[in-house]
Amino acid sequence: MHFLGVQSAGSAPSSSRSPQDPAATKSVREDYTRFTSVVLPHLDAAYNLAHWLTGNRTDAEDVVQEASLRAFRAIRGFAGTSARGWVLSIVRNTAYSWLRKNRPTAVVAVEDLEAVEIALVKQGEPDADTPEAALIAQTDANHLRAAIAALPTPFRETLVLRDIEGLDYREIAEVTEVPIGTVMSRLARARGRLIAAVGVSMTESTDVSNRRGS
């Protein structure tokens, strides 16, 4: 998977800067070098997130291409904190812009989570190993992918960022632009829905196997 549409330093568009200007050429080269070190290592994560949000390989590639251009244009604004979080934030925003334009019904809002957030903060972080986590780990990959894809978008992106991409709560809060408490709430609810869906899938699979064996 590659970021497309980002040109090398010597081939910057001539409309804004003259290619004969040494200072401009040096500036573009520096931007490209920084882009290479900051963005390129996170291409797989960028594509994975775009794919989970759009649900389609071709659409995900379109999102990543647009995100690459946005990242290149904004590379001077990168503050040097979490490159992974910064890149995924751009990919997420690009994906939502794409969804609003092409699939407006896919961009759904979740209900007020304040009460759940307060309860979760009192209970602690929802990351401890549990029987439910073991159940997810044992689930057939196809069932698991289908269950994740069926989650509401805010829950799905939080689950993907945490359990697949490995971002911490602070990074997810920055990427999704919500408080950490909301991240915790959405993650817990995403896992809860996933566990319920996985349990049904496993039960149905067991029933089918039993019927075939009888």
List, in order of start, the domains of the chain with CATH numbers. 9-106 (1.10.1740.10), 114-213 (1.10.10.10)
Is 70 exceeded by the pLDDT of residue 3?
no
Residues 177 and 88: their CA atoms lie apart, in Å, by 12
At residue 134, the pLDDT reads 55
Give the model confidence (pLDDT) of 89-120 as tens digits: 999 999 999 998 988 776 654 444 444 444 44
Mean per-residue pLDDT for 193-198? 84
The model's confidence at residue 200, banded by pLDDT at 50, 70 and 90, is low
Mean per-residue pLDDT for 63-69? 96
Is 70 exceeded by the pLDDT of residue 127?
no
Residues 190 and 196: their CA atoms lie apart, in Å, by 10
Mean per-residue pLDDT for 2-29? 56
Instruction: Indicate the burial class of 127 (C-beta count within 10 angstroms; 0-12, 13-18, 19 or more).
Output: middle
Give the model confidence (pLDDT) of 140-151 as tens digits: 677 788 888 999
Mean per-residue pLDDT for 55-60? 93
Contact yes or no for 84/167 (Cβ under 8 A): yes
At residue 177, the pLDDT reads 92
Mean per-residue pLDDT for 205-212? 47
At residue 206, the pLDDT reads 45
Q: Is the pTM of the predicted complex or chain greater than 0.75? A: no
At residue 22, the pLDDT reads 74
CA 196 to chain centre: 22
Q: Residue 55 is encoded by which pair of tokens?
A: 């649900």
The model's confidence at residue 52, banded by pLDDT at 50, 70 and 90, is very high
Mean per-residue pLDDT for 75-101? 92
Element (H, E) at 196: helix 180-213
Q: Which of 153, 150, 154, 183 is nearest to 169 (CA)?
A: 183
Contact yes or no for 147/198 (Cβ under 8 A): yes
